[in-house]
Amino acid sequence: MKRLLNIELIKIYSNSGFWVPAIFWAVLYAASLLIVTQINVNFTGIDSTSFFKFPTLWNVTTWIASWFNLLLSIIIIIVTGIEFSHKTFRQHIIDGLTRIELLKAKIFLILVFAFVAFVIVLFCTLIIGLIYNDSNSWLNIIDNIELIFVFFIQSVAYMLFALMITLLIKNIALSILTFILYFISFEPIVRNFFPDNILYFFPMKVISNLTPPPDILQFATQANFQTTINGQVVNDSNATQPFEISLLDNTVAAMIYIAIFIFISAYIIKRKKL
């Protein structure tokens, strides 16, 4: 493991295609948190500063960070795509590495990326906590702390999906385009043809649901409306409850998808011409 990881770290050490987006990720995430903390939400009975206190703070910082997982996935696509364009994979095979070792090296690198993202999100959360939390709210720091670990799983899942696509397509630009289109267009369209109890188990839906939006956003999208004719209610949003799965079940489903992505990636790298 150490040998394979060292090889990967040596390759990205002088690779600007990695460092530029990686630094951009960290700076943009920190800047986003700074901007969000300056927003004052004026709703009756809602204090915007409460979203920056524990335990709600874990929900806010991990949800914002989840969007930046897309950038981490693009970094993986770039790093892996360069291996194909520079024939690095082929050279590694000549030097004695097996195809499975090449895949293991990329998985180890993904775990490192996810861990670094985990540390950055944890650090930013604690900094915001120091600024906005009082002694009473710090007592709730353990509540919802599982979200930071679920965020780590989410990061790994997104990047493994991106790795799988890159191993299949090999071209950086086409891999990025395929990843983005699948995430924002293809799967959401396909999900519309399935009932809730099925659509919630599509890969990107499962992975994105690991970090749910803060309560204020869920409240905004779940407002209750009633339509009446002659005083009779004909449409009541409370009539049917939306299908939901627990965070534990969602995490298990994500872990299953992680295993599937690894299995498919292993199959591709064994069969694909490098």
How much is the pLDDT for 7? 84
pLDDT value of residue 225: 38
% the chain with pLDDT above 70: 86
Residue 154 CB coordination number (10 Å): 26
Q: Is the pLDDT of residue 48 over 80?
A: no
Cβ-based neighbours of 128, under 8 Å, separated by 6 or more: 33, 37, 52, 57, 61
Is the pLDDT at 227 greater than 60? The verdict is no
Dist CA 170 CA 80 (whole Å): 8
Cα torsion 121, 125, 127, 133 to 10°: value is: 180
Q: Each residue of 228-248: pLDDT tens digit?
A: 344 444 444 444 455 678 899
Choose among 174, 162, 166, 151: nearest CA to 203.
Answer: 162
Residue 262 has pLDDT above 60, yes or no: yes
φ, ψ for residue 233, nearest 5 deg: -75, 125
Q: What is the mean pLDDT of residues 210-225?
A: 63
Rounded-to-integer distance, Cα 58 and Cα 62, Å? 6
Highest mean pLDDT pick, 135-149, 214-228, 233-247: 135-149
Listed residue (28, 70, 40, 50) closest to 214, CA to CA:
50
Q: pLDDT category, 41, cuts 50, 70, 90?
A: low
